[in-house]
A and B are shown apart, each in its own frame.
Chain A
């Protein structure tokens, strides 16, 4: 099911800061929050890109980190909303490789970074037919942070 996602400005800024400091390489990490409609993205946790390929074009979050993220969400009564990563000098749309390795039931935030500056973040989710569909990302400017 395609969701609306409400995100705090501070969370979006955190993702952009990580994406910019990691440029020209791809960053990655987890997004935690609350279930509901809309989903709420409230916290991010950066993970070191563990890919054994060129980090400019590929990222990997190892299984141990996924286990930790699931445990963190469980122990802190949070939802593992999804993952984020960046596309250096490319648009924030899922690539064929993003699709090949995607999991259902998670949001995939992709941030485009152009010449070191984070420009745009979009969120995507796999459909039942394994096609990425864009989610509506709403910035909650009424949030205190």
Chain B
């Protein structure tokens, strides 16, 4: 198993758990496992096109997955995935 660290504003949807154990695989598969465990989280992480929302930035350890292989980055047993929001918006 790997684990995902949940940012404070989203913990309401994970029964106030700060970290959730998930299946390893790709990053996207691990995130999907998270939203299957906590379905109310899905609409906040994925948009109507089932793509990760713009604010969702994902790190494995201290590495931004955008500097690795994106959502296809391999998650190994024992890895720590962090969901860290980038706050954004505009006119």
Q: Give A residues with C-beta under 8 Å from B.
A: 26, 28, 51, 53, 56-63, 66-67, 70, 80, 83, 85, 87-88, 90, 94-95, 97-98, 100-106, 108, 130
What CA separation (Å) do A130 and B40 show in the bound complex? 11
Which residue of A is nearest B86, CB measured? A63
Mask: chain B, 52-63; 1 = CB below 8 Å from A; 0 = not: 011101010000
Q: List the interface of chain B (C-beta within 8 A of A).
A: 7-10, 12-13, 43-44, 47, 53-55, 57, 59, 64, 84-91
The 7 A-B pairs of least Cβ separation, nearest first, read A58-B90, A98-B89, A63-B84, A61-B87, A105-B9, A57-B91, A101-B55
B interface, over-half SS: mixed
- Are the CB atoms of B12 and A105 closer together than 8 Å? yes
Q: In chain A, what residue has the closest Cβ to B57?
A: A63
Q: CB-nearest residue of chain A relative to B53?
A: A101
Q: CB distance A101 to B91 under 8 Å? A: no
Report if A101-B89 is in contact (Cβ < 8 Å); known contacts: A63-B84, A67-B84, A130-B44. yes
Distance (whole angstroms) from the CB of B74 to the closest CB of chain A: 21
Chain A residues with CB under 8 A of B89: 58-59, 85, 94-95, 97-98, 100-102, 108
Closest to B55 in A: A101
CB-based contact B9/A104 at 8 Å: yes
Q: How far is the CA of A103 from the CA of B43 in the complex (A)?
A: 11
Find out whether the CB atom of B90 lies under 8 angstroms from the CB atom of A98.
Answer: yes
